[in-house]
Amino acid sequence: MEGFQWLSCYLTTGKHVSFYLSFGTVLLLLAVTAPAAMLFGFGGAMAARGRIAPLRWLGKAYIALVRGVPDIAFFLFFVIALDQGIEWLRHQVKCPDWDQPIRQGSDFVVCSAAKMPLGTSPQWMHETYGFTLAVLTFAIVFGAFAANVLFGAMRAVPHGQIETAEAYGMTHRQTFWRILVPQMWIYALPGLSNLWMVLIKATPLLFLLGVEDIVYWARELGGSKTPKFTAYPHGDWRMWYFLGLLVFYLAFTKVSEVFLDRLTARLSHGQATVGGTAQRKTS
Amino acid sequence: MKSLFLGTAVLALSASFALAETVRLGTEGAYPPYNFINDAGEIDGFERELGDELCKRAELTCTWVTNDWDSIIPNLVSGNYDAIIAGMSITDEREEVVDFTQGYTPPSPSAYAALSADVDLKGGIIAAQTATIQSNHVVDTGATLVEYPTPDETIAAVQAGEADAVIADKDYLEPVVEATDLIFVGEDVALGGGIGMAFRESDSEMRAKFDAAITSMKEDGTLNTLIAKWEVGGTW
């Protein structure tokens, strides 16, 4: 086999199929994480500007803490802590008459009914669980940044709008949901679009969490292979695989940019911003 | 009454779980012939066959998981899988954190490989995988050590001229030397006390089961057959 035929066989091995599927993993991560992070962000921003002091402290502490810790440190710490925390809670509930210590030297030992997922679960459950932890961690990290962006955006809405709403007799809640929230997006969009870009580029962190993502497979497939263990021996091809990843990320961010530009145009409509005024003049 | 009933149900359920417990075997999947990912994307190699056979003999259901070499011990200890079977040499340092079974391969030599025969193994730059017995050895010899997370990258480093030579288990290097420009240099070094499976220190019961299975494979010669098939060092 050689030339095109070799390549087409090579590119359709089971291993390559796993590689292609891992692109799906990344896209799924983004699709789930982005809304989840927005929820965390919105919650954080609402808490940070809330009228109840402890809630406000909580929101501000969340934003300050998570933004101040390096992503990687947070990822490494939080995923283990969360996993052990969940297992510890389940252990307390399910095995109340367990008499051995949970920490034995460096081992973390809980009863087998408290394991998350259970030792008997199939592999896909373990993978889904790992993926869920990853999504949650991503959402918390990016949620903090989103919270800060939204917090700023809420303050950027012209004060006259709020005053007018109040003059019409709207309650605080009504003002928030009907006047402030619909108008804040245009102020939040530059910050949020930045976050989206950073989030796309942060997906290789999945690899750090043990999820077999595109970086894992690119490295595994690109590494040199000796004829003894594969039907497709080759030298060090990592450069080509990583180049492929580069193209993928560039294309993906480009598509995002186009989409975000359209969104900006749409949200500027009727706003008292430079962009909104320009739209009014041209139309 | 209701809670009593519920309690029994939970008990019965957990008992049945304990019976059907699957053992999760953790490996690296990047260290042929011991363990690697084959063309079909599945874990393959000497340890795959060995592990499956051991599980059969110990009457356990086993599943395979891959994990980076770097974090393979921490993730065992925190319970992500139940055993490591990843070409891991038995050393005193590791014994402090995990418990090993008896070795399933006899102590096998490590070797240096380089692009030319005249490299300086004592003063040059030597590539080794992070946290291996070989990387410790390089530090002891006084050569400059450069570490890489995967075995494959240590080879690439020599080919790219970043390192003068690479040190690894000889059985890993042999197919590489066969297929590339690399040649063996210097003398083989005897490192480590053979390769074994690693378990959490709190899991001595499961470790005993695998230990017994290894003994039975040694006795009836099937282990030697496997070692010869995959060409991993010497037989027993």
Give A128 or B128, the one with higher predicted confidence.
B128
pLDDT in tens, B175-187: 999 888 999 999 9
Q: Does A90 touch chain B (CB under 8 A)?
A: no
How close A49 gets to chain B, by Cα (Å)?
39
Q: If you measure CA to CA, which chain B residue comes closest to A127?
A: B65
Q: What pLDDT, on a 0 to 100 scale, did the predictor assign at position A118?
A: 76
**Cβ-contact B173, B134 below 8 angstroms:** no
pLDDT in tens, B34-49: 999 999 989 999 999 9
Task: Establish if A128 belongs to a structural domain.
Answer: yes
**Chain B residues closer than 8 Å to A108 by CB:** 77-79
**Cβ-contact B198, B98 below 8 angstroms:** yes
B positions 101-160 inside 8 Å of A (CB): 150, 152-153, 155-156, 159-160
Q: Does B187 touch chain A (CB under 8 A)?
A: no
Average predicted confidence (pLDDT) for chain B: 88
Q: Is the confidence at residue B9, as pLDDT, over 50?
A: no
Give A282 or B15, the one with higher predicted confidence.
A282
Q: Does A236 touch chain B (CB under 8 A)?
A: yes
**Chain B residues closer than 8 Å to A83 by CB:** 78
Partners of B62 in beta bridges? B23
Please tell me what DSSP assigns to residue B79. T
Q: Is the confidence at residue B93, as pLDDT, over 50?
A: yes
Q: What pLDDT, on a 0 to 100 scale, did the predictor assign at position A1?
A: 65
Partners of B64 in beta bridges? B25
Give the pLDDT band (50/70/90) at residue A282: confident
**Domains (ranges, CATH) in chain B?**
22-106+194-230 (3.40.190.10), 109-190 (3.40.190.10)
Nearest to B103 by CA among B197, B177, B20, B190: B197
d(CA A198, CA B218): 54
B positions 202-221 inside 8 Å of A (CB): 202
Q: Is the confidence at residue B52, as pLDDT, over 60?
A: yes
- Can you give chain A as a three-state secondary structure string? CCHHHHHHHHCCCHHHHHHHHHHHHHHHHHHHHHHHHHHHHHHHHHHHCCCCHHHHHHHHHHHHHHHHCCHHHHHHHHHHHHHHHHHHHHHHHHCCCCCCCCEECCEECCCHHHCCCCCCCCHHHHHHHHHHHHHHHHHHHHHHHHHHHHHHHHHHCCHHHHHHHHHCCCCHHHHHHHHHHHHHHHHHHHHHHHHHHHHHHHCCHHHHCCCCCHHHHHHHHHCCECCCCCCCCECCCHHHHHHHHHHHHHHHHHHHHHHHHHHHHHHHCCCCCHHHHHHHHHC
Q: Nearest by CB to A13, which of B17, B39, B153?
A: B39
Task: Establish if A283 belongs to a structural domain.
Answer: no
Average predicted confidence (pLDDT) for chain A: 89
Q: Does A101 touch chain B (CB under 8 A)?
A: no
Q: What pLDDT, on a 0 to 100 scale, did the predictor assign at position A21?
A: 93
Q: What pLDDT, on a 0 to 100 scale, did the predictor assign at position B236?
A: 79
Q: Does B80 touch chain A (CB under 8 A)?
A: yes
Check A210 against B33: CB less than 8 A apart. no
Q: Which of A15, A229, A230, A238 to mutate to test the interface with B (most CBs of B within 10 A)?
A: A229
Q: Nearest by CB to B17, which of A118, A229, A231?
A: A118
How close A137 gets to chain B, by Cα (Å)?
18
How close A39 gets to chain B, by Cα (Å)?
30
Check B68 against A87: CB less than 8 A apart. no
Q: Does A5 touch chain B (CB under 8 A)?
A: no
Task: Establish if A165 belongs to a structural domain.
Answer: yes
Q: What pLDDT, on a 0 to 100 scale, did the predictor assign at position A30?
A: 93
Q: Compute the average pLDDT of residues A158-181.
A: 93
**Residue entry with tokens 């420009």:** B181
Torsion angle defined by CA atoms of residues B210, B85, A119 and A112, in that order, rounded to the nearest 10 degrees: 60
Q: What is the DSSP string of B220-233?
A: TSHHHHHHHHHT-S
Nearest to A114 by CA among A127, A96, A136: A96
Q: What is the pTM of this model?
A: 0.81
Amino acid present at B169: D
Q: What is the DSSP string of B87-100?
A: SPBP-HHHHTTEEE
Give the pLDDT band (50/70/90) at residue B18: very low
Q: If you measure CA to CA, which chain B residue comes closest to A116?
A: B80
**Residue entry with tokens 């790219």:** B160
Q: What pLDDT, on a 0 to 100 scale, did the predictor assign at position B232?
A: 86
Instruction: Please tell me whether the peptide bond between A117 and the residue prior to it is cis, using omega within 30 degrees of 0.
Output: yes
Q: Is the confidence at residue B153, as pLDDT, over 70?
A: yes
Question: Which residues span the domain enclosing A65?
Answer: 3-278
Q: Compute the average pLDDT of residues B93-117.
A: 92
Check A13 against B80: CB less than 8 A apart. no
Q: What pLDDT, on a 0 to 100 scale, did the predictor assign at position A141?
A: 92
Q: What pLDDT, on a 0 to 100 scale, did the predictor assign at position A124?
A: 81
pLDDT in tens, A218-256: 988 998 888 888 888 888 899 999 999 999 999 999 999
Check B40 against A219: CB less than 8 A apart. no
Query: Which CATH number fits the domain that encloses residue A264?
Result: 1.10.3720.10
d(CA A155, CA A122): 49
Q: Is the confidence at residue B19, as pLDDT, over 50?
A: no
Q: What is the ipTM of this complex?
A: 0.77
**Chain B residues closer than 8 Å to A110 by CB:** 79
B61-66 vs B22-27, strand pairing mode? parallel
**For chain A, what is the domain count?**
1
b/e per residue A170-190 (b: at least 16 CB within 10 A): beeeebbeebbbebbbbbbbe
Task: Establish if A198 belongs to a structural domain.
Answer: yes
B144-148 vs B125-129, strand pairing mode? parallel
Q: Nearest by CB to A226, which of B20, B77, B175?
A: B175
How close A121 gets to chain B, by Cα (Å)?
8
CA B154 to chain centre: 17
pLDDT in tens, A43-95: 999 999 988 999 999 999 999 999 898 888 888 888 888 888 888 898 888 88
Q: Compute the average pLDDT of residues A148-159.
A: 94
